[in-house]
Amino acid sequence: MPTPAVVFFEIPVLDMDRAMNFYRKVFACEFDSMVVDGNDMAFFPMSTQGIGISGALAKGDAYRPTTDGVIIYVATDSIDATLQDVLMYGGHLHYPKTHNEFGFVAEFIDTEGNRIALFEKRRSEEE
């Protein structure tokens, strides 16, 4: 049996326009929107580098923003710069930038009330 792999995520939203505006500004990305099974969906772009997974902002009866559920980690080149954008565009710091054996992590609360984590890869001493 193959090892299970996460292939897609959905971030619940209450206000699709507000959420798209927030994520568009924080992560400098555009969305493709459509209705899927009666739910409004705004899809993050797929990686052109063949790494990571993609997902969508999702609005519908089954979607409720939360700080208590699964944590999604989004890679960034600079947690500091990304957190500045988060705060500038209406998000809130939840867990400050912290170093671990893999690099740095931090968490924020988005404009919809979801806890989202950031990951910055540890750089080698030569970089």
For residue 54, CA distances in Å to 10, 60, 84, 87 come to 9, 19, 23, 24
Residue type, 58: A
- pLDDT cut 90: percent of the chain above it: 83
Domains defined along the chain, listed by start: 8-121 (3.10.180.10)
pLDDT at 124: 66
Q: How far out from the chain centre does Cα 60 lie? A: 19
- Judged on CB neighbours under 10 Å (0-12, 13-18, 19+), 82 is buried
pLDDT at 126: 39
- Angle CA 63–66–75, to nearest 5: 100
Phi, psi of 119 (to 5 degrees): -130, 130
DSSP at 114 = -
pTM given for the model:
0.90
Q: Is a pLDDT exceeding 80 seen at residue 82?
A: yes
Structure tokens at 8: 């897609």
- 75 pLDDT band, cuts 50/70/90, is very high
Torsion over CA of 13, 72, 114 and 106, rounded to 10 degrees? -140
Tens digit of pLDDT for each residue in 15-74? Answer: 999 999 999 999 999 999 999 999 999 999 987 777 788 999 999 999 999 999 999 999
- 125 pLDDT band, cuts 50/70/90, is low
pLDDT at 88: 98
